[in-house]
Amino acid sequence: MDRRVDLFKILKNEEKLTNVTIFPAYESVIDPYEKNKETNLLNPITIKAYVMPLSFQSLKWKFFGQLPMGSKQIIARKRDKNSFINAHRIKIGNDYYKCYTDDQQGFALKEYENYIVVIVEWKNV
């Protein structure tokens, strides 16, 4: 992609960017014998990103129906990659989401030259 074209500047001028609040967290082991873990939320981070709903076709053909309805696809700046990796909860509007992980606990995060694409699934909180 040509550096003269800034995707996020174009989306900002068209007012298509959405506020995405990311709640990072870390886990600490309470009891090493029973392996109980406690999740501690950190201060939320708010970023601007382009949010799109996933279509029925992509849920069926790309993700094999594993994602619940209401899941979203986020296009964000490359500098926000670590925020999404450490995210425990993601708030878009009034709904809460989490990063989609597969059976090997790999994140559905695709990195391109100037941006990243993150798949988030709806989380019933």
pLDDT tens per residue across span 1-32: 556 778 889 998 999 999 999 999 888 999 88
CATH assignment of the domain containing 58: 2.40.10
Instruction: Give how far the C-alpha of residue 8 lies from the chain's centroid of Cα atoms, to the nearest Å.
Output: 17
Inter-residue contact 40 to 23 (CB < 8 Å): no
CA distance 121 to 116: 16
pLDDT tens per residue across span 62-117: 555 566 677 888 999 999 998 888 888 899 999 998 876 655 455 678 888 889 99
Does some domain include residue 36? yes
Does some domain include residue 62? yes
Inter-residue contact 72 to 52 (CB < 8 Å): yes
Inter-residue contact 55 to 62 (CB < 8 Å): no
Q: Does the model's pTM come out above 0.85?
A: no
- Taking alpha carbons only, the member of 125, 119, 117 closest to residue 7 is 117
Range of the domain at 97: 7-122
Does some domain include residue 2? no
